[in-house]
Structure 1
Amino acid sequence: MTTSMSRRLLLLTALLSACAAKPPAPSKLPALRLPPAALGSARFALSQRLSVTRLDMADQPPQRVDVQLQLDASGLLLAAFAFGQRVLLMKWDGIELIVQRHAMLPSEVDAERMLRDLCLTYWPADAVRAALPGGWAWVQTAAGQELQQLGQARLVIRRLDANIVEITNSTEGYQLLIESQAQEGA
């Protein structure tokens, strides 16, 4: 690894660690590992910019990462990049979640949370509802969808337009803005 690359990865680690200065509490939201087959004929091939803001640090600029996402009934493939380097690779086939992380990627970047958020964002509502444990509901609202526990919103997804999704997770303390563009040739 070159010195320049090492410096960029150290900077990325510092940026992401600053965003997670106080480690997030363990998730109290249900884990979701929905089978890709539940997507039916839906197919996604997207270039995305993810902007993450900690809710207790809303005055700080968001941390950003670029993502390539391919998702269809056969599986999910996600690659995250920062400073031109791949820092995360996730593969989900409905049976096994395979995660390759760059050594400099902070532990606060949690693949299980990412998979859950992807399931909530892209899978059909009926598949999400069927996978939730008792006391939880996936509810359509005027503003979007809410993951509710005993009637209280714990995570809210709003589709700001056809290419922008906003996830506000008050339980785990973050807001995620997902800006997507279809990949060329997809």
Structure 2
Amino acid sequence: APAALGQSISLQQHLTVEREGRTDTLDTALEIDADHLDLVGLAFGQRVMTLHYDGRELQVWRHVMLPKQVQGDDVLQDVQLTLWPAKAIKDALPAGWELRENEGQRTLLLDGETIAVIDYPDRKAWGGKVILTNLRYQYKLTIQSVVTTE
């Protein structure tokens, strides 16, 4: 749930997605407080995705031209994996899943197999750079965030 983040934040983000030799970029505005998570994705100045999550229901609007690989629930999972405290993620993981965290990196595993690696070269989840490498779906997501309010 949004409350599991433990604080309210507002971020401007620049996302770079690398997959199958293709690179796409997206700018987002992300707001999270105890009651909701709202994300608006923009490409070339045009809205291409909107997410609203209240901890129970995820509402998604997608532009028809947005690649089908970009799904709202996957975007929400990536946001949570990169921003939420490790304890909140661990408490919500189903059986067989594990999150390991050491300085500057998180690793998500399923039955001992690495599914995703999240690197924090700036040593912080927001207000800097985060690199998520998803081995299961074979993409790399680089997030550059600027805090607009905390």
Pick one of 111, 117, 126 that aligns with 2:72.
111
Structure with greater Cα Rg: 1
Deviation at 1:150, TM superposition (A): 2.3
CA distance in 2, matches of 1:158, 1:132: 20
1:164 aligns with 2:129: yes
- Give the alignment of 1:163-182 within 5 angstroms: 163-182=128-147
* Residue deviations 1:124-152 (CA, integer Å, cap 9, x gap): 21111111121110111345000012222
* Residue deviations 1:107-139 (CA, integer Å, cap 9, x gap): 211111111111111112111111112111011
CA distance in 2, matches of 1:39, 1:143: 18
Deviation at 1:84, TM superposition (A): 0.9
* TM-score, length-scaled by structure 1: 0.74
CA distance in 2, matches of 1:143, 1:119: 16
- Residue equivalent to 1:95: 56
SS of 2:77 mapped into structure 1: helix
- Residue equivalent to 1:51: 16
CA distance in 2, matches of 1:37, 1:129: 15
CA contact (8 A) 2:104 2:121 kept: no
Pick one of 16, 33, 40 that aligns with 1:79.
40
1:38 aligns with 2:13: no
1:148 aligns with 2:109: yes
Counterpart residue identity of residue 172, structure 1: Y
CA distance in 2, matches of 1:106, 1:152: 28
Pick one of 123, 126, 134 that aligns with 2:87.
126
After the TM superposition, which parts of structure 1 deviate over 4 Å for at least 4 consecutive aligned residues?
A: none
Equivalenced residues, count: 146
- Give the alignment of 1:54-73 within 5 angstroms: 54=19, 56-57=20-21, 60=22, 62-73=23-34
**For structure 1, which segment, 168-177 or 139-148, has the greater mean C-alpha deviation from structure 2 after superposition?**
139-148
Unaligned runs of at least 5 residues, structure 2:
none
The structure in which a higher percent of residues are strand is 2
Unaligned runs of at least 5 residues, structure 1:
1-34
Counterpart residue identity of residue 73, structure 1: A
CA contact (8 A) 2:13 2:143 kept: yes
CA distance in 2, matches of 1:73, 1:149: 29
CA distance in 1, matches of 2:29, 2:8: 14
**For structure 1, which segment, 85-94 or 105-114, has the greater mean C-alpha deviation from structure 2 after superposition?**
105-114
* TM-score, length-scaled by structure 2: 0.90
